[in-house]
A and B are shown apart, each in its own frame.
Chain A
Amino acid sequence: MSDGTYLGMPAFPVAAAEAVGDARLRGNLRHATHTIRDKRARAVAELPDWPELRAAGAAVKDRTLRHLDHYLERLERAVTAAGGHVHWAADAAEANRIVTALVLATGEREVVKVKSMVTQEIGLNAALAEAGIRADETDLAELIVQLGDDLPSHILVPAIHRNRGEIRDIFRDRMADRGRPAPEGLTDDPADLAEAARLHLRRKFLDAKVGVSGANFMVAETGTMVVVESEGNGRMCLTLPETLISVVGIEKVVPTWRDLEIFLQLLPRSSTAERMNPYTSMWTGTTDEDGPRAFHLVLLDNGRSDALADTVGRQALRCIRCSACLNVCPVYERAGGHAYGSAYPGPIGAILTPQLRGVTSELDASLPYASSLCGACYEVCPVAIDIPEVLVHLRERVVRGGEVTVRGTRTVIRPAGGHAAERAAMRAARWVFDHPGVLRAGQRLAARTRRLAPRRRLPGPGRAWTDTRDLPPVPAEPFRDWWRRSRGEGSGR
């Protein structure tokens, strides 16, 4: 599964329940997310104008998305003028075909990769493998994931579910399969592990003729690509190969360098809790005598235009993939990233995946419910995506269906299956609550029979509650009866 995909994974509650039972996974996740979350809070607190920066980031993204066609065409002209080639991909399959053809045309059968979310989204490594092309991940965590036949479980820290002992084992057992083996007697000391990765990767950097990347931002006015990373591995892949292919989601464009300035402040503090990002690589087309001879930009839609057509859901396209929402999310901390079944785990994944892939599969339809709506994600989001609002909006899409845009066409979808009983219950509850007489009768009945009410075991779906939680006792008298008895009918209306 080293070039694996997320297809065919179980619905969120099933996968999450399994993860909850894995004590080691929970320990790894708890330690890692709490460490990053605390560091982020300190880094953000240093800036007195953080709320203004956040508002500016959201405003720039919203304005750009409103005129996305304009900025993308401007970007295409600038990239082309600087010697690059621009390709447009409507979906994952088209992007994979384009990249595969570009690699095959170079005559090479190996590529090195910069850490990239979008190539995980489209399953590029698997598509390249089918064409006989080997893609080597060079980001340390992506390398761990790839060697371990695993899938990323975090946007920023793809191997967050692994501890150093597990990483040592993976390096020791698997490095030889993909190149230079791990040194003899490898320990689980972080410096030792980093050195092993360095030695393993160095040969690949020097030999690579083709590099594949994503990009964090694209500046429309000059056609400049921006990759933000911490290790320097990305810069090796962006500068050493002869051919560079960048696959980038269309929402990554920003109009000008002045706009970029905002995000280069928001992103490092929100993601790695750094004041300034360690390696920020920027390139514009190709440059004589320096860097790759050929540059290809593959602009990917893959559901983004459809999300853009949704007035509530479109704010998800502001996302700059910082992963702050993952690190504060109590559900992510316990469920782990794999339960979300896509390259985008955590709260942002729960609103992005059902928009990019739709809600037809059981897994995708379960994602909007993977939240207690506690709002911690919205609070830390550097571009102010109201994730709870979008979650509730997508829940409506699941239970009610209705008008959505699919590949550019307005379509009416049917409600997802499995909600008939819930829908009936919600409608019944609504009717009771809208008929206070019925409500009172029900409350009185409950009060009269309260000694029969179970505290520790409910039948049917209620068992999901009473398996771990007792129920409160039913009081002898509802509040409104007490009011009427003690104050009389006339003291309210």
Chain B
Amino acid sequence: MRVALFITCVNDALYPRTGRAVVALLERLGVRVEFPMDQSCCGQPQYNTGYRHETEPLVRRFARAFAGYDHVVTPSGSCAAMVRDNYPRIGARAAAEGRGGGLAGAVAAVAPRTLELTEFLVDVLGVTDVGASYPHTVTYHPTCHGLRALGLGDRPRRLLRAVRGLELVDLPGAEECCGFGGTFAVKNAAVSAAMGADKARHIIGTGAAAVCTVDNSCQTHIGGTLSRLGSTVRPVHLAEILASTEKEPW
């Protein structure tokens, strides 16, 4: 089984700890993970802002970088959804417009094999107890694209519930968007900030020490809002919790 890690541009530049946690976790579970150096951004910022044509070279790059792997694993629900949901659309539109030279075919080969981390753990490896230990109170915010586009369901919570010492507390209004939405956060800053403030209020109200998601882009918004409000609740990616063990706390 050849497994490639798609780190995503946000994690690469701002959250390398999450990437290192994914590697540590997968290696602990006996998976040899490769990191194709040609990888880059999935193109979601461009695509979601209306720049579909500008996205195409990044789609092509992704398909080339990850060709030939059995699974492409990524610690981001949003980027996985971009690849699985939107890449086929982009390929089909390019073909329909007489461009794209095989883009649709290249996408068809790689998009269905691109999995968000919890899908890979639960569906491919068949594990929910990954032997992790994280003795803290944690609340889980299901990020929108993982929740609704990928349909991650209870996979993240099942993984969290199996972590030693972790107390999982329910987040009120959990399924409401945190207000990030990529360029939405600056184009409609007032509404975005109001959504973020409501989300932060709910998180603080749980009394949890940490808020966990599977998307560091949303986490940037949630964490930035919490920090501005002077809260000590720590934003933490699920991979970092799962990588943490009694012997080696992450």
Are both chains from one complex? yes
**B228 near A433: Cβ-Cβ < 8 Å:** no
Listed by A's residue number, 22 A-B pairs whose Cβ atoms lie within 8 Å are A12-B188, A369-B187, A372-B182, A372-B195, A375-B145, A376-B177, A399-B50, A426-B45, A426-B54, A430-B55, A433-B9, A434-B58, A439-B40, A464-B185, A467-B189, A475-B13, A478-B12, A479-B16, A480-B35, A482-B20, A483-B35, A492-B35
Given A477-B16, A478-B16, also A429-B45 (CB < 8 A) = yes
Complex alpha-carbon distance, A489 and B38, angstroms: 12
**Could you say which of A430, A465, A478 has the most chain B C-beta atoms within 10 Å of its C-beta?**
A430
Q: How large is the interface on A (under 10, 10 to 19, 20 to 34, 35 or more residues)?
A: 35 or more
**A475 near B15: Cβ-Cβ < 8 Å:** yes
Convert A460-493 into 0s and 1s, putting 1 for each residue whose CB lies closer than 8 angstroms to a CB of B: 0110110111111011011110111001010111
**B184 near A20: Cβ-Cβ < 8 Å:** no
| A330 beta carbon closer than 8 Å to chain B | yes
| A379 beta carbon closer than 8 Å to chain B | yes
**A375 near B184: Cβ-Cβ < 8 Å:** no
Given A373-B182, A443-B13, A468-B197, also A480-B191 (CB < 8 A) = no
| A161 beta carbon closer than 8 Å to chain B | no
| B148 beta carbon closer than 8 Å to chain A | yes
Sorted from nearest, which 10 A-B pairs have the closest CB atoms?
A: A372-B181, A395-B50, A469-B224, A17-B190, A374-B177, A479-B16, A479-B19, A468-B193, A374-B144, A375-B148
Given A430-B54, A464-B189, also A480-B37 (CB < 8 A) = yes
- In the complex, how many angstroms separate the beta carbon of A308 from the nearest chain B beta carbon? 18
Complex alpha-carbon distance, A251 and B39, angstroms: 45
**A492 near B36: Cβ-Cβ < 8 Å:** yes
**B61 near A479: Cβ-Cβ < 8 Å:** no
| A334 beta carbon closer than 8 Å to chain B | yes
Interchain CB contact (< 8 A) of A426 among B9, B35, B49, B186: B49
| B95 beta carbon closer than 8 Å to chain A | no
Interface positions of A (Cβ within 8 A of B): 12-13, 16-17, 20-21, 26, 330-331, 334-335, 368-376, 378-379, 389, 392, 394-400, 422-423, 426-427, 429-430, 433-434, 436, 439, 443, 446, 456, 461-462, 464-465, 467-472, 474-475, 477-480, 482-484, 487, 489, 491-493
Given A398-B50, A475-B14, A480-B12, also A389-B89 (CB < 8 A) = yes
B144 proximity list for chain A (CB < 8 A): 372-376
A378 proximity list for chain B (CB < 8 A): 148
**A471 near B195: Cβ-Cβ < 8 Å:** no
**Within B43-79, which residues are at the interface with A (CB < 8 Å)?**
43, 45-55, 57-58, 61, 65
Interchain CB contact (< 8 A) of A465 among B57, B145, B189: B189
| B91 beta carbon closer than 8 Å to chain A | no
- In the complex, how many angstroms separate the beta carbon of B57 from the nearest chain A beta carbon? 5
Complex alpha-carbon distance, A371 and B190, angstroms: 12
Complex alpha-carbon distance, A310 and B164, angstroms: 53
Complex alpha-carbon distance, A2 and B87, angstroms: 48
A480 proximity list for chain B (CB < 8 A): 7, 12, 35, 37
**Within B4-25, which residues are at the interface with A (CB < 8 Å)?**
4, 7, 9, 11-17, 19-20, 23
**B50 near A469: Cβ-Cβ < 8 Å:** no
A434 proximity list for chain B (CB < 8 A): 40, 57-58, 61
Complex alpha-carbon distance, A462 and B227, angstroms: 17
Tell me the dominant secondary structure on chain A's binding face. helix
A394 proximity list for chain B (CB < 8 A): 50
**A467 near B7: Cβ-Cβ < 8 Å:** no
**A20 near B180: Cβ-Cβ < 8 Å:** no
**A371 near B181: Cβ-Cβ < 8 Å:** yes
By beta carbon, the residue of chain A nearest B181 is A372
By beta carbon, the residue of chain B nearest A483 is B35
**B228 near A468: Cβ-Cβ < 8 Å:** yes
A20-B194, A439-B40 known; 4 new pairs, CB 8 Å cut-off, are A372-B177, A376-B177, A468-B228, A482-B20
| B125 beta carbon closer than 8 Å to chain A | no
B39 proximity list for chain A (CB < 8 A): 436
B180 proximity list for chain A (CB < 8 A): 372
**A475 near B17: Cβ-Cβ < 8 Å:** yes
| B176 beta carbon closer than 8 Å to chain A | yes
**A474 near B51: Cβ-Cβ < 8 Å:** no
By beta carbon, the residue of chain B nearest A462 is B186
**Within B71-101, which residues are at the interface with A (CB < 8 Å)?**
89
Interchain CB contact (< 8 A) of A433 among B7, B35, B43, B189: B43
Given A399-B49, A430-B58, A468-B193, also A492-B177 (CB < 8 A) = no
By beta carbon, the residue of chain B nearest A482 is B16
- In the complex, how many angstroms separate the beta carbon of A138 from the nearest chain B beta carbon? 34
B19 proximity list for chain A (CB < 8 A): 479, 482-483
- In the complex, how many angstroms separate the beta carbon of B81 from the nearest chain A beta carbon? 9
Interchain CB contact (< 8 A) of B14 among A379, A395, A474: A474
**B37 near A379: Cβ-Cβ < 8 Å:** no
Interchain CB contact (< 8 A) of B220 among A376, A472, A477: A472
Given A374-B177, A433-B9, also A468-B196 (CB < 8 A) = yes
A430 proximity list for chain B (CB < 8 A): 43, 46, 51, 54-55, 57-58
Given A434-B58, A434-B61, also A334-B37 (CB < 8 A) = no
Given A396-B50, A478-B13, also A469-B188 (CB < 8 A) = no
Given A434-B40, A434-B57, A478-B13, also A469-B177 (CB < 8 A) = no
**B11 near A479: Cβ-Cβ < 8 Å:** yes
Given A330-B177, A372-B195, also A379-B228 (CB < 8 A) = no
**Within B123-150, which residues are at the interface with A (CB < 8 Å)?**
144-145, 148-149
| B118 beta carbon closer than 8 Å to chain A | no
By beta carbon, the residue of chain B nearest A372 is B181
- In the complex, how many angstroms separate the beta carbon of B203 from the nearest chain A beta carbon? 14
Complex alpha-carbon distance, A423 and B53, angstroms: 11
- In the complex, how many angstroms separate the beta carbon of A313 from the nearest chain B beta carbon? 13
**B224 near A376: Cβ-Cβ < 8 Å:** no
